[in-house]
A = this chain, B = another copy of it.
Amino acid sequence: MTTFDQISGDLAALEIEVPSWAYGNSGTRFKVFGTPGTPRTPEEKIADAATVHRFTGLAPSVALHIPWDRVDDYAALRTYAEDQGIALGTINSNTFQDDDYKLGALTHTDAKIRQKAIDHHFECIEVMDATGSRDLKIWLAEGSNYPGQADMRGRQDRLAESLATIYERLGEDQRMVLEYKFFEPAFYHTDVPDWGTSFAQVSALGERAAVCLDTGHHAPGTNIEFIVMQLLRLGKLGSFDFNSRFYADDDLIVGAADPFQLFRIIVEVVRGGGFKSVAEGGVAFMLDQCHNIEKKIPGQIRSVLNVQEMSARALLLDTDALAKAQEDGDVLLANEIFMDAFYTDVRADLGEWRESRGLAADPMRAYLASGYQEQIETARVGGTQAGWS
């Protein structure tokens, strides 16, 4: 039986990148509800992200989204972040909000529009150079709404070409991660709808291209941990976008819809050797969520805590006993050993562990008592935010 002490070191490796856009308002196509204290500038988003890290010790970097987080001086932004105690992380491109991209961007039939989209990624790489970011993340919101509207094959070939052009521009220490998504915003076909397509595209690019797995981007019933296993096996799991879903891409707090699924996913990350710090070649953990109705910062704190709690349970799995039961073909015992880890209540141990590291035992209560929320709700009045909503 693995003990909490034994997993303490592994737990310390856990780093979860938070997205700058999680601190802004979001919603559905029907309505975006405003929240008091919403950041109006990239700096304010960074300040919020740093606050999450300050209370949890789990979120040492924040992902940016271009153009939403466009500033004149990225070096200054980097310094600002570092002063707050966090790093600037993955740079996310955006090919879904320019009117020119209505029918496609990197896949468009018009070479000029493709070039515009490629140039946008070049800009992102320049930002990366300034921010010191390692990863360029591409989510391709492209596709079509009606059968016959588009030549799917031609689009796939143009996509390969566009990606190759972008890939060549990457620095030696930079990576590209390509996200896939089952559907939305396109409703008939999506150009990168599944892990197979992302895998085939990044494999054609080279070593520094990998797949980004967003947990909400799958068909109903998909065994996501199988994909985690497979991509780790194939050496192509670059990063996670964590969130959770009941139906479609609901973008709820990670672990909220199906905590057992999150457990199984992390078990496979551990199994596949991906549970280590990014610096040591681990899989990058990121959040990509919406907080449509709940408060943003507490929503993010809850999210990183959920990942931490499930990581602890996953690390507690008695893999020796499990391997033996599997070898023996003892179906019920193997399942029981697996569930034992999941059912273990790690919260008290985690509280102590946090205190031993100078953090509050209960980061949520500590945050709520800190006055930060009241302060931003008072101070941040006026202004508008850039975002997908």
Using a CB–CB cutoff of 8 Å, the interface residues on chain A facing chain B are 26-31, 33-34, 96-97, 99, 102-103, 109, 141, 144-153, 156-157, 182-185, 187-190, 193-197, 199-200, 218-223, 225-227, 229-230, 232-234, 245-248, 250, 252-253, 256-261, 264, 268, 271-272, 292-295, 298-299, 302, 309, 322-323, 326-327, 329, 331-332, 334-339, 342-345, 347, 364, 388-389
When the two chains form their complex, are residues A30 and B141 in contact, meaning their CB atoms are under 8 A apart?
A: yes
Return A323 CB to nearest CB of chain B, in Å. 7
Q: Who on chain B is nearest to A197 by CB?
A: B230
When the two chains form their complex, are residues A146 and B219 in contact, meaning their CB atoms are under 8 A apart?
A: no
Return A244 CB to nearest CB of chain B, in Å. 9
Q: Who on chain B is nearest to A141 by CB?
A: B30
Return A195 CB to nearest CB of chain B, in Å. 5
From B151, B157, B336, B347, contact of A302 by CB (8 A): B336
The quantity of this chain's copies bound in the complex is 4
Q: Who on chain B is nearest to A249 by CB?
A: B248
Q: Who on chain B is nearest to A220 by CB?
A: B220
When the two chains form their complex, are residues A99 and B337 in contact, meaning their CB atoms are under 8 A apart?
A: no
Supply 15 A–B pairs (Cβ within 8 Å), ascending by A: A30-B96, A31-B97, A31-B388, A33-B99, A34-B99, A146-B332, A146-B338, A147-B338, A149-B334, A183-B221, A184-B248, A187-B250, A188-B223, A200-B234, A345-B345
Q: Who on chain B is nearest to A263 by CB?
A: B147
